[in-house]
Structure formats: C-alpha cells, structure tokens
Structure 1
C-alpha cells in the first residue's frame, strides 16, 4: 500500500498532467493572454473564491481537524483534466476550459503549498505534521508543471503523433485514476465509509455551491451563457488525484491512505454526482433556447 501511495500515485498524477499537456498547443497559451474577461473570472473563481467558499463550508460543518484540512487541500488544487470532457458534454466553451485548466495547473506549485500550510496549521494546530513548504512546492512543480510542459513540447515537436494518441492517453489517464481510486478505497473501506458518513454532506454541498458560484459570476459579470457554463464546471471540478498525492507527501509514509487524503479521494466521486445532473440541465437549457429560436417568427 505504501508503494502505491508514495510511487504509483504520484506517477499516475504526472501521467494525467502529461496527457493534459499533450492536448495543448502554443496557440492555446497565446489565447491565455487574449482570453479577456471570462478567463480572468475563471482564474479568480478558482484561486480566490473557491478556497473562501470551501473554508466557509468546512467550518460550518465542524469537521474533524484532519478531514477539514484535507477538504481544504483539494479546494486548493487546480482544475481537473476531466473538466474539459464535461465542458464538451455540456456544450460549453472548450477553448476556455482548456486554457483555465492549463493556467491553474501551471501555477499550482506557487499557489497550493503556502495555502495548504496555512490550512493544515489552522485546522490541525499542534497535531499538524511537519513539512517543508519549499519541498511541497518542488513536489507540486514536478507533478503538474513539468509534465504539462513536457506534453506541450511533445505536441509541438511530434504534432501528428500527438494528435493520434491524445484521446487514447487522456482516456487511459482517467481509467488509471479510477483503478487506483478503487484500489485505495477497497484497501481502506472501513475508514472510507466512516469518513463519508462524517463529511459526505459537506463534499456534496461544496461542488454544488461552486458550480452555482461559477455560473453566477459569469452571468453577473456579463459573459455568455456558453462561457458561464464553462466557468461553472471549471470552478467545481478539481484535480483530486493531486490532492491525494499531496496529502501523501505531507503525511509521509503511513500504513495505508492517510485521513488527510480521504477528502480528495471522496471528492473524486461527489463532484461528479453534482456535475452529471448539471450537464443534463445545461443541455436542456440549450435545447429549450434552440426550440424557442426556431419557433420565433421571422422578422419582416
């Protein structure tokens, strides 16, 4: 189990981020600087508002300290790779989704470690494990920024090959994470069940509130419905594999998965429980709008 947490899990996370980078081109990074209002809203939602909302929910549910810290840890993580797939299914702005995921992943090594340190000390107090913020930053850099940029480089140099294997590797990355998640859960089922009983409602409420917040921020600040859908999804879908890997790095070698990692693992499930109905709702909204447009009388 220790080998899976300390070696296989970080390797799987790096592979997931490599598959993300393989789907990016240099033009995608150019779009980041031209992204305008929607991209800026997404970054603020992800890096600033999301942790604030998570802190409020975690504090309101009065969770055990280590679980509260673990919930904050996943809230600090960048957007998940699967958010791009969900955005496509919801008929959102895929280019915006890719740009947001790329930006938050590339800067995660600067944003996640100090916030994680603050949350762990705040909630766990004297029971907080000792760890180096700089070492955690290096660990995050190796697991996120390096593989993403490697994927971008491979895409740039071997474009035709990358396009052929991109979808396969992306699907493989998701399957790999699911297998690893099942392995970790089955090996610690009693602990997982107790944890979900304590914090299941909080981990279901969090993605729901985040999804509403992303949508509301987009509509309130005047971006399109399509971009607002993307903001809703990108704000609520987190890179939970990174959260589990970071928890393992913070807690060190333990007998099985640590309690600090469990909120990230469980969020892998609860965020999709909320996201899947949202996809259907977004598609229904599109369908209703298209029907109304088709029924509208032609102007003379």
Structure 2
C-alpha cells in the first residue's frame, strides 16, 4: 500500500514538472555546449562518484549506504527550479537540466546501483535486474513528465492558469513524502542520524561547491553557474524515496525500508543549506536584475 501511495505521489510531482516544460526546454541546453557539458558532468558523473567516495571515507556500508547512492542518481525537480529563481540564476537552464536529467535517470540509476550494490552490500544478495528497475523508474518518473509536456502543448491556457497550483501541489507532496518517510522510520532515523548525517551534509555542500567551481572553470555566466550549482546539490528526494521502496525486500504496508531514509534526510538538509546559498547569490553585485525566463507553464 505504501509503495502505491509513494508511486502515485511521485507521478503527480513529475506530471506537474512536465506541465511547466516545453519541447524547447529539452533542446535549449543542446545549443549551449559548455552549459550542457557542465550539467552532465556534475549530475551524471561527479555526483555518484563523490557520493561513493564519501561512503568509503566515512566507512559506510549496508542499506543506508546504497540509499545514498540511490539519492546520487536522482534528478532535480520543480523545487530546484524555484530555488534557482530565488537565487537569481538562469531559470531556463535549470529547467533544461531538470528535463534532461528526468529522462536519463531511468537508465543511469539502475546501472550505478548494479555497480555499487555488490560493494556496499557484500553480505546480502540484492535482486537487482537493470531492465525491470529501469522500466519501473521510467513509468513513474519519465512518463509523467512526457505526459505533462504533451498536456502543456495541447492546453496551454489551462496550463498557464494552473501553473502556480501545480507547483504548490508538487512542493506540498514533496514535503509530505519526506515527512512521512521520517515519521515512519523515526527510530531508524534517530539511531542512524550521526552515521549518515555528516555524509549527506558533506555531499550537499561539496556538490554545491563543485557546481560553482565547474561553472567557473567552464567560464559560464554567473547566472548559469548558479543554476549548475543548485542542480548539482539539490536533488529530487522523492525519486530516491520511491526507488528505495521498490528495492526493499522487507517493505511493510505501514513502514518504509532504510533504502529510502537517506533521501528523506537529504530533503531536510538541502532545504536548510540552500537558504544561506540563496542569500549569498542574491547579494552578488554581478547578478543583474535582468528578467529571467519563467517556468513556461
């Protein structure tokens, strides 16, 4: 039952994301090779590598460690687009990053897990078949985005009228899913917070810093560098929670397994760390008050 509720909640969040997109959002990054390369390197390569390196550094293994790797493969979401706007970053680029990452997650996530699971769970046999997992992730994350884009094309007036409501609903569902995960796993959360908290906080701060450094290295404009940093360090924890629930062999009707917990904890931590980041980026004199592209829906 809990798996069904989570899957439906994630599908609605990704549908609302699709409603905010246009086909041009998927191709915009292709016309900006430096920005595209920066986003691909940060999200698809560096994020999983940094996560795995931190797990080794802190000596973490087991279900929680694999949960961190699940999180590292998750794309951004509507929340990252909102945070980019508040930080005066390039919102259009942020949407492009989110759109592209949402499409490829169904393929990259199972591959990363298949490579790291034997190392992080050496004493367990995890039934992890790449194709079935890819299809599940594709059906609950990528397909709703594509449906949302189609609706936005067919009914632009409806989309425009309900953009803010869809965004608010997505953020509310995100909060409810994160809170529900923490409540259902409260004993696990409190007993493991000292174990996984430093790793997740380090991952968040490192990826924000790596995004900034990579943007500067590629001589990207300040607004684009801000977008890259947020997309690298602000992940869609709902995807991680749902994927974790799909993997857990001990999933009960009223409780989630510990594969999902790191994504829920990260959802809280990144909300706290993003506040000073937003204040800092907004204070930069180089960030002109030029109008940024709004979410299209």
Q: Structure 1 length normalisation: TM-score?
A: 0.91
Rounded to whole Å, the distance in 2 between the matches of 1:169 and 1:19 is 5
Asked whether the 8 Å contact 2:181–2:261 carries over to 1, the reply is no
In structure 2, the partner of 1:298 is: none
Rounded to whole Å, the distance in 1 between the matches of 2:284 and 2:212 is 13
Rounded to whole Å, the distance in 2 between the matches of 1:183 and 1:49 is 30
Deviation at 1:232, TM superposition (A): 0.5
- Compared CA separation, residues 34 and 289, structure 1 to 2 (3 A): closer
Deviation at 1:65, TM superposition (A): 2.0
1:274 lines up with 2:273 in the alignment: yes
1:24 lines up with 2:21 in the alignment: yes
1:48 lines up with 2:45 in the alignment: yes
In structure 2, the partner of 1:211 is: 208
The structure where helix makes up a greater share of residues is 1
Rounded to whole Å, the distance in 1 between the matches of 2:181 and 2:116 is 24
Structure 1 stretches of 4+ moved >3 Å: none
Structure 1: gaps spanning 5 or more residues? 291-300
| Structure of greater Rg | 1
Aligned length: 287
Deviation at 1:253, TM superposition (A): 5.2
Q: How does 1:136-215 map to 2 (within 5 A)?
A: 136-215=133-212
Rounded to whole Å, the distance in 2 between the matches of 1:22 and 1:225 is 28
Rounded to whole Å, the distance in 1 between the matches of 2:164 and 2:37 is 28
Deviation at 1:27, TM superposition (A): 2.2
- Worse-superposed segment, 157-166 or 122-131: 122-131
Rounded to whole Å, the distance in 1 between the matches of 2:275 and 2:132 is 36
In structure 1, the partner of 2:283 is: 284
- Compared CA separation, residues 289 and 157, structure 1 to 2 (3 A): closer
Asked whether the 8 Å contact 2:75–2:101 carries over to 1, the reply is yes
Rounded to whole Å, the distance in 1 between the matches of 2:225 and 2:277 is 13
Asked whether the 8 Å contact 2:38–2:215 carries over to 1, the reply is yes
Rounded to whole Å, the distance in 1 between the matches of 2:57 and 2:42 is 20
Asked whether the 8 Å contact 1:39–1:96 carries over to 2, the reply is no
- Compared CA separation, residues 66 and 168, structure 1 to 2 (3 A): same
1:251 lines up with 2:226 in the alignment: no
Asked whether the 8 Å contact 1:80–1:240 carries over to 2, the reply is no
Residues 39-80 of structure 1: per-residue CA shift (max 9 Å, x gap): 221111100111111111111111242211111110011123
Deviation at 1:289, TM superposition (A): 6.7
Q: Structure 2 length normalisation: TM-score?
A: 0.92
Deviation at 1:29, TM superposition (A): 2.4
Rounded to whole Å, the distance in 1 between the matches of 2:64 and 2:225 is 31
- Compared CA separation, residues 139 and 203, structure 1 to 2 (3 A): same
Q: What is the root-mean-square deviation in Å for CA atoms of aligned residues?
A: 1.6
- Worse-superposed segment, 185-194 or 67-76: 185-194
Rounded to whole Å, the distance in 2 between the matches of 1:32 and 1:159 is 23
Structure 2: gaps spanning 5 or more residues? 289-297
Asked whether the 8 Å contact 1:120–1:128 carries over to 2, the reply is no
- Worse-superposed segment, 226-235 or 186-195: 186-195
Rounded to whole Å, the distance in 2 between the matches of 1:253 and 1:191 is 14
